[in-house]
Structure 1
Amino acid sequence: MIPCSVFIVAQDEANNIERVLRSVSDFAQVLVVDSGSTDNTVALAEAMGAEVIHQDWLGYAGQKQFALSLCQQDWVLNLDADEALTPECIAVIKQTIIRNDIAALRFARNDIFMNQLPNKWMKKPNNLRLYRRQLAHFDTSEQVHESAIVEGKEIRTQVAFTHFGYNRIDALVAKNNLYSSFRAEDKFARNKRPSLIKLALVLPFTFLQKYFLQGRITNGKRGLILATIDAFYAFLKEAKLWEKYLVDSDPNKKSK
C-alpha cells in the first residue's frame, strides 16, 4: 500500500464516487467525508472499501480542514469526487513521498470538456493536491477555490490528473454561477472595491487570454465555447461584486 492518506469531500456523488475510489485503491488510507448524501454515495463508497465519515457542511475549506484532521499518514492527497488519478500520477506520488526535501506537489489538471481531453497545446490548470499533513492547513474564511496552505518547499509536475466535472456546459455554467457568488461575497467581506474599468474590460481581456495565449484556439469549436464561458465567469465575479455594493450593502456604502 502507498503510505499516503487520501481524503475526498462528497455529497450526492453516486455517478462519480466509484471511479475516483478505484483510482486510489492502492493507498493506505482512503477517507470520504460525506455531508449528507441522499443518493447511494455512502453505500458505494463503503462497498469500495473507503472509510466514510458524516460531517454536516462546514463550507468548502472547513469541510476539507475537517477531513485533513482525520488523516493518519504523513503525506495526504486531496481529490474531488469528480476526479481520478492516472497511473502516471501514482508513479509521481510514489517518487515524491520518499523525498525529505519537499513539502508539497502541484499537479497539472486535465479537464474533460464535451467528452474530450484538452490537446497538448492548451495550457492546463494546476492544483496543489499532495502535501505533508503536519505542514498543511486550509483557510476556512475562503468560501470557494480553496487550496491547502503548506509551509515548505513546493514542486510541480506536468503529469495531470483527470477532472470530469466540467464535461457538460450546463454543469460548468452552474458551477460558475455558484462560485462567482462566493467570490463576490469573499471580496465584499474584505472591503474589496469594484472597478468600472475592470467590469468593462474583464470579459474581452479574459477571452483573449484564454483563447489565444492559453491555446483554446487550438481546440476548435470546444475551445471557442470554453474560452467564452471562462470569460463570462470572470465578468460575473466582477458584476456580482458591483451588485453587493449597489443593491445588497448599506445605503451609506453604495458606490456612486
Structure 2
Amino acid sequence: MRGPANQIKMSDATSLAMAFGGGALIGGLGGLIGLGGAEFRLPLLISVFAFSGLEAVILNKAMSLIVVAFALPFRSSSVPFGEVAGNWPAIINLLTGSLLGAWLGAGWATRLSHKELYRVIAVLLVLIAIALVFGHNAANAAPALTGVAQMLTGVVAGFAIGVVASLLGVAGGELLIPTLVLLFGADIKLAGSLSLAVSLPTMIVAFTRYSRDRSFAVMRNNRRFVLAMATGSIAGSFIGGQMLGFVPSSMLLPLLATILVVSAVKVWRHQ
C-alpha cells in the first residue's frame, strides 16, 4: 500500500487490519444512528494514518458514501423503505439546497491550504458535537414551520449542510437528523433513514467534484487500504443497522460528542 510521504510507520498488515477495524467500528455507528460516520473517521485518517487534509477528506467521502449506501437498506427492518419514500417532499426539499452546497463546498475545500482546512475541520467537528447532543435529543413534535416558510428554510438548511458535508467529507447526517426532527417533525429513527436518503445523492455530487482535483489520486495510490476500510465499513453498517431496535441513542450521543471534541482538538493542533 502506498500512502503520503509522512504516513505513520507501520507494516502493511497492521495498517490494513487497523483500516478494517476502524471502518467496522465507525460503520457500526453509522448504521445505528443514520450517519456516514465520517466525523469519527476523519481524525483517524489524519492523526493515525497521516493523510494530508484534502486526501483525508477525499478518502473520508468515499468511505462515507459506502456506509450510507449500505446503511439505508440495512436499517429497513426497523424503518421500511415505504415509510422513507412516503416522506419524499422533505427529501426533495433538502436535496434542492444540499446538491448545490455539496458542489460549491468541494470546490472551496480544494483551494484551502492544509492548515486552513485543518482549522475549518476542527471547528465543524465541535459544531457537529453540539448538534448531536442537542438536536438528536429533541422530542418528536409538530413541524416548526409549514408551507412556503418550511420549504424555503429547508432549501437554505440543505445548502448549508451540503457545504459542511463537502468540506469534511461527511454524509451530513449529524445536521440532517436534527433538521428533519425540528423542521419536519420526523421521528428520530425515521429521521436517521431520511438523512441517509438525502445524503447519498449529495455525497455523489461532492465526490464527482473532488474527482477533478489531483489529490483524488490518493484513491488509486491506496487501493488496498481503501478496500480494507470499505469492507470493514460494510460489515459494521450491517451490524449497526441490526442493532437499531435495541440500543437507545441516548446512551451513545454523549460519548460520541466527547470523541468529536477530543478529535477536534487533535486536528486543530495537527501539523
Structure with higher RCO (Cα < 8 A, 6+ apart): 2
Instruction: Point out the structure with the larger helix share.
Output: 2
Specify the structure having the higher radius of gyration (Cα).
Answer: 1
TM score, norm. by length of structure 1: 0.25
The normalised TM-score by structure 2 is 0.24
